[in-house]
A and B are shown apart, each in its own frame.
Chain A
């Protein structure tokens, strides 16, 4: 083959041919068997590279990694910032350990958007703190994710929501496939584009437009339940399950279960942490100065003072609090603690409005976090729930509301509402928060 002919093939594989060249390519492929053979072989090369790239985390070429000296400077800056960050002084030692992990993750730097993004958690406890740190930073670590307890809600690249309930071991194998070794996942695929499959040691469940729950059980069986729409269970004699149907799949047989009762459906269906909820009654708001009208710092709203601004005119009406990244490596925040007394078992509802600021908008990797921290009688955080929002693509200058609900665990004596910016160590990027709300609700949470 001639060089121009080869260039036509590569141009086609790169998706970069103009109309004339594409017409020449079609003529070449129609008349030249060697060109077709070459295209098939080059496509085999592409398929292999795609497979390897999907199986292993992408890494930037080494030439892009920061130098050792630069890394040392970064660590030094992070340490000096920690030393001056008095509100979290007791956590400094732990933070220093975590800096190492975060730095490694930062150096590794994701080239691509992760296959799945953690958008919310409720009392989530991961088997590895580094995994938690990476997930909180918007990264997805390679290999299985082991959630020991609590629940975690992920948004996949194409729009499916996957909620994991611990204990569970789950891996996001590719953008359309979730592998569950153990535990229960709930999947919601709102559009044809977002459809996914869930694979367990016993079977594969292919979504056909639905909400469904899959549980890989310790007794070598898989329980599949369809809440709406239908799925195909790829096992002998299994077939298609429709809304209200459930099935137990074992290695050699399947058992189609009786239709789910309404109570069973409710139990399986999680109230998505990230889903919107009707606005709570402002009169029940436990926060003082929820609209940030008083100057900062204030005895009510505390946090990372040097990163906070009392922003006049940037609120939905009046003031707002603005958190600027200013090179912070982690999560600068503002927070208010509410002494609730013993509210064990009750549902705490929180919401806030937030906006990426027009004059200093969030960058691609930055986002806002709404977090509920549950404090015990000693005032220590022992459980939490969080929602990440204003991700890449959120329009600057436009307020949107984030909502979070979580059940207060036994031992809760106070609740802290925290509003954070995932700053990613960048000098630019800021978020404005306004009209925060914290109420004690009564309705139970399923899943």
Chain B
């Protein structure tokens, strides 16, 4: 079962078992990770599911699409090199993913 570790801006970590094929955003919303707002529900229209991915995990992810890249310019906390929108990250079998959530999404 894939696992996501969400670390908030204050440093507290929540570990959640995810379903293979679900997005990181869906995993967060269904498990009460409030640092992921995900207003639009995954249609790449709101940029409120922003996460910073642990450097060591970056190579395991599918590359970013053009629209995700554009929407990352609309995040509340400025993007960094390891920024992703968690609605675009699909959990794969056995994946162990570490992300940090920004101080605010809005």
**A, B assembled together:** no
On B, residues with C-beta under 8 Å from A are none
